[in-house]
Chain A
Amino acid sequence: MSSDIVYMDCNVSVGAEYAGTYRPCLGVEQLLAEMDWHGVEQALVCHTLERNQSPVVGNAVLAEEIAHQPRLVGAWSILPPQTEELTPTPAFFHEMAAAGVRALWAWPTEHRYVLNRITFGCVLDELSERRIPLLIPCDWDLAYHVLADYSELTLVVTAQGPWGNDRYFRPLLERYPRFYVDISRYELDCGLRELVNRYGADRLLYGSAFPQAPMGGPRLMVARAEIDEPSRRAIAGGNLRRLLEEVELA
């Protein structure tokens, strides 16, 4: 087994869902146990309260959950600056650093705002300069609009689902060098091989969409994809660790 490859999952969450999850993961102990079972060393994690209640609540709960968990890096959620619900930047970035948070989510549908320059102005420019990854749920229109406004932003589109998405995301890979793809649910046969051959491995991030999806599918798919070992190492975790190391919060 390629035991020198250290897997890091870019897309896991803990917490309940309004509509229920077939088999929920309510806390980090369950998450870590599943990671152990699947040979996944690290994960970038958010709490469902960030999306389902409010980042005001969920960000704090996530910080508590991941305190003293060196295998977990946190991802908080943002809100428009106009309503002043979250600490304004740059103090917000210092809070992220203190909580072990190095990436952010945006949920414009659930939180009822427009994710663009009119709303976020220079806040997302600050994210771009500090190289803080912004994760969004899979919405290609949204991704195209955000990147049109913020072409330097490190944007990760997550959990695209198993139906074909290459026709949507390949133009973004060609146009925006800081655009990244979470491969959870990118189940296309030989899809990873074709992407690596055409675009290289640098912008593909291993993810599972746990706990909606199990970790075993992407774990075996990445372990056995027909790609060279440096590409596998990059997709499995190297790319995400590099992205998180580049983040400047001070």
Chain B
Amino acid sequence: MIDSPIAREFLETGRCASCGVIDLHAHYGHFRGIYMPNHGPQQMIATMDRCGVDLMVSSGHTALADMVRGNAEMAAVTAQYPGRWYAYLTYDPHLRELGRRELELYDTRPTFAGIKLHPTFHQTPITADAYRPVLEFAAARSLLLLTHTWGGSAFDSPAHIAQVAERYPSITLLCGHSGHGQFAECMDVARRFSNVYLELTAAYAVRGVIEDMVERVGAHKVVLGYDLPWFDPHYAIGCVVMAHISDEARRLILRENALRLLQGRLRVP
């Protein structure tokens, strides 16, 4: 059986004392199409404890459908768990004026650690003018920006990400789902642009993808997420710790890369 001390510790205890997980792609709240038994804030924190997760950054499901209500909700819920739970400001490209006000509120919401875009849900290419205000805001402040990406998408394919990465080099871009289905293309973008990172939600469930990312791009460009409260962190962590990669790579993916990216960006210690 696998001889990794990290894998063994997760299998035996559910956690790894020397490698607390940092989750850069989480959510919060109900969502259509899925029954989530573990959606409450305290339940999500309990899952973090159970799975050895030190910190997570969430965007609200409410905010996808109703930006103003949802961002306020995320600010309030994360404020209850300082140091443990942070939020992304979700931006709706259809609501330009409200979006401007949401960006103005960013400074009053200290648990906000970056921006979340979902071009596929909002049916708007991330390269469209409608996203320019939020991208300029993020670029001016060198923010962390998590965007949904999907292979072949008309809104957020790896080719779209390359355009954004080139135009806004000061934004640290996390490719949520790593361009699922166009993994090779997304890896190319992450290799070409120093500001582009591969995020593993759902991608971890395709056998061989993690190994290829580590080999072709480098473990230093890969970060973990799993859409909590959707997916059991142990499913995602199991894919990482039992992949055919080194323990050093496992540590970078589970923890170290995310810590490095969050450094200086967390306004609540």
In the assembled complex, the Cα of A163 lies from the Cα of B34 at a distance in Å of 6
Let me know if B241 is at the binding interface, CB within 8 A: yes
Contact B239 A217 (CB under 8 A): yes
In the assembled complex, the Cα of A187 lies from the Cα of B202 at a distance in Å of 10
Contact with A along B244-259 (1 / 0, CB 8 A): 1000000000000000
Residue of A163, A185, A213, A219 with most chain B CB atoms under a 10 A cut-off: A219
Contacts of B235 in A (CB 8 A): 187, 217-218, 220-221
Q: Which of A38, A190, A191, A211 contacts B242 (CB 8 A)?
A: A38
Contact B1 A213 (CB under 8 A): no
Q: Which of A1, A166, A212 contacts B207 (CB 8 A)?
A: A212
Contact A223 B35 (CB under 8 A): no
Q: Which of B38-68 contact A (CB under 8 A)?
A: 38, 43, 47, 50-51
Let me know if B238 is at the binding interface, CB within 8 A: yes
Binds A, one of B84-92, B96-104, B224-232: B224-232
Task: Knowing A216-B243, A217-B236, A217-B239, say if A162 contacts B231 (CB, 8 Å).
Answer: yes
In the assembled complex, the Cα of A212 lies from the Cα of B208 at a distance in Å of 9
A180 to chain B, nearest CB (A): 20
Contacts of B208 in A (CB 8 A): 22-23, 214
Let me know if A79 is at the binding interface, CB within 8 A: no
Size of interface on B: residues with Cβ below 8 Å to A: 45
Task: Knowing A37-B242, A38-B2, say if A220 contacts B234 (CB, 8 Å).
Answer: yes
Let me know if A226 is at the binding interface, CB within 8 A: yes
Contact A219 B34 (CB under 8 A): no
Contact B14 A224 (CB under 8 A): yes
Contact B37 A188 (CB under 8 A): yes
Contacts of B264 in A (CB 8 A): none
Residue of A164, A213, A214, A219 with most chain B CB atoms under a 10 A cut-off: A214
Contact A216 B231 (CB under 8 A): no
Task: Knowing A164-B33, A164-B34, A187-B230, say if A220 contacts B205 (CB, 8 Å).
Answer: no
In the assembled complex, the Cα of A42 lies from the Cα of B47 at a distance in Å of 30
Contact A220 B230 (CB under 8 A): no
B6 to chain A, nearest CB (A): 11
Contact B36 A188 (CB under 8 A): yes
Contact B234 A221 (CB under 8 A): yes
Nearest opposing residue in chain B for A214, CB measure: B207
In the assembled complex, the Cα of A189 lies from the Cα of B34 at a distance in Å of 11
Q: Which of A184-238 contact B (CB under 8 A)?
A: 185, 187-194, 210-221, 223-226
Beyond the given pairs A37-B242, A39-B1, A217-B204, 13 more chain A to chain B contacts, judged by CB atoms under 8 angstroms and listed by A's residue number, are: A23-B211, A162-B205, A164-B34, A187-B226, A188-B35, A189-B232, A189-B233, A212-B206, A212-B207, A213-B207, A216-B239, A220-B237, A224-B50
B interface vs A, CB < 8 Å?
1-2, 8, 10-12, 14, 33-38, 43, 47, 50-51, 183, 202, 204-211, 226, 228-244
**Top 3 nearest A-B pairs by Cβ distance?**
A220-B238, A164-B34, A216-B242
